[in-house]
């Protein structure tokens, strides 16, 4: 699976453990890299030899946790710092996936986002645009509102119709563990600090890796990939504010760029209940009454 596919699939999918930039909603752990051969002490002749451990990079207190000037030395430390920055505060997560031709035409755009309020109430949305629609029954917009007791969804279709669903709430706090995967991928791809703004409040650092390894150097949105890169912006305290994977190449024989980006904004405040939630709840109440009357009539 290409990196940007996992990036978007993980938004609403179950708990997964992809070793990629593709952000999971609540990834439980990091994939341990390397195998037993990495610890072999046997030389070419089969005799034993002494292995001197590589020096551990000394952390620079001015850099984000787990980051040195030339590498991501401790991905788990960076991931933990990001998770702590999102705990007990409101935040907004926005994921955008675009495919654009060199002439400016957008072949595809998919945007998803979630706002987590101070009280844990969540408002999410999904919107699709482009030329890849299969007909009037295609879902082009999806929004949901969740509190501790109910999960309300609104689906909008290409033919202009709207449908609602009301379900039991299963509150989750999306993307708190995102930086674990991002940091692991940046570490795997030998990313380094390429820019910084130490005068900002808080200070920010740009981490980047180009010409990705074979595992991540393909895109489902392009027929042929020419260049690939991963870029992340992290604060000095370890909050991942933005991460993206970018590919250039061709699609349908024309030059194109595929880009997937996730952005974090903190302290969003309380989530206001949209007016359509009341519409959905009233509709469900009417349906429940109708079903109850039907059951009594046939009972």
Span 1-12, pLDDT tens digits: 455 544 444 343
Alpha helix (H) ranges present in the chain? 3-9, 75-86, 178-188, 275-298
The residue among 213, 207, 195, 194 whose CA lies nearest residue 238 is 207
Q: Domain map of the chain by residue range?
A: 93-174
The residue among 49, 36, 22 whose CA lies nearest residue 185 is 22
pLDDT at residue 27, as a whole number:
27
Structure-derived torsion over alpha carbons of residues 107, 137, 160, 149, reported in degrees to the nearest 10: -100
Q: What is the mean pLDDT of residues 128-141?
A: 67
Edge-first strand listing for the sheet containing 224-235? 162-168, 150-157, 139-146, 122-130, 106-116, 91-101, 254-266, 240-251, 224-235, 204-210, 192-197
Question: Exposed, middle or buried: residue 72 (CB in 10 Å: 0-12, 13-18, 19+)?
Answer: buried
Provide the β-strand partners of residue 139.
157
Q: What is the mean pLDDT of residues 26-38?
A: 25
d(CA 267, CA 269): 5
d(CA 225, CA 257): 9
**Residue 233, Cα to own-chain centre: how many angstroms?**
14
pTM of structure: 0.73
For the chain, percent of residues with pLDDT exceeding 90? 55
Average pLDDT of every residue of the chain: 78
Which region holds residue 253: left if phi is over 0, alpha if psi is between -120 and 50, else beta?
left
Residue 229: CB atoms within 10 A of its CB come to 18
3-state secondary structure of 279: helix
pLDDT at residue 127, as a whole number:
87
Of 4-13, 36-45, 110-119, give the lowest mean pLDDT range. 36-45
CB 151 within 8 A of CB 167: yes
Distances (CA, A) of 161 to 110, 127, 158, 164, 274: 20, 15, 7, 10, 18
Of 16-25, 65-74, 202-211, give the lowest mean pLDDT range. 16-25
Of 36-40, 63-67, 227-231, give the lowest mean pLDDT range. 36-40
Of 110-114, 207-211, 212-216, give the lowest mean pLDDT range. 212-216
d(CA 264, CA 96): 12
pLDDT exceeds cutoff 50 at 47? no
d(CA 119, CA 271): 8
């Amino acid at each position: 699976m290409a990196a940007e596919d996992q990036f978007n699939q993980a938004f609403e999918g179950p708990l997964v453990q992809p070793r990629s930039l593709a952000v999971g909603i609540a990834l439980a752990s990091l994939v341990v890299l390397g195998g037993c051969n990495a610890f072999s002490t046997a030389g070419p002749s089969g005799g034993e030899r002494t292995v001197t451990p590589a020096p551990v990079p000394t952390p620079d207190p001015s850099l984000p946790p787990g980051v040195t000037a030339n590498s991501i030395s401790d991905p788990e430390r960076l991931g933990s710092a990001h998770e702590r920055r999102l705990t007990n505060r409101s935040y907004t997560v926005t994921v955008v996936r675009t495919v654009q031709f060199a002439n400016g035409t957008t072949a595809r755009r998919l945007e998803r986002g979630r706002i987590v309020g101070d009280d844990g109430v969540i408002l999410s949305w999904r919107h699709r645009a482009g030329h890849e629609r299969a007909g009037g029954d295609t879902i082009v917009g999806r929004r949901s509102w969740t509190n501790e007791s109910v999960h309300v969804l609104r689906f909008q279709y290409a033919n202009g119709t709207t449908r609602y669903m009301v379900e039991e709430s299963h509150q989750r706090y999306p993307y708190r563990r995102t930086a674990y995967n991002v940091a692991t991928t940046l570490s795997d791809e030998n990313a380094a600090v390429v820019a910084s703004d130490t005068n900002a409040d808080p200070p920010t650092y740009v981490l980047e890796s180009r010409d990705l390894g074979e595992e991540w150097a393909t895109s489902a949105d392009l027929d042929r990939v020419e260049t690939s890169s991963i870029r992340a912006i992290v604060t000095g305290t370890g909050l991942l504010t933005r991460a993206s994977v970018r590919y250039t190449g061709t699609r349908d024989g024309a030059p194109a760029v595929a880009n997937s980006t996730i952005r974090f904004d903190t302290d969003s405040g309380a989530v206001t209940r949209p007016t359509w939630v009341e519409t959905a709840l009233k509709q469900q109440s009417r349906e429940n009454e109708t079903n109850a009357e039907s059951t009594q009539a046939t009972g």
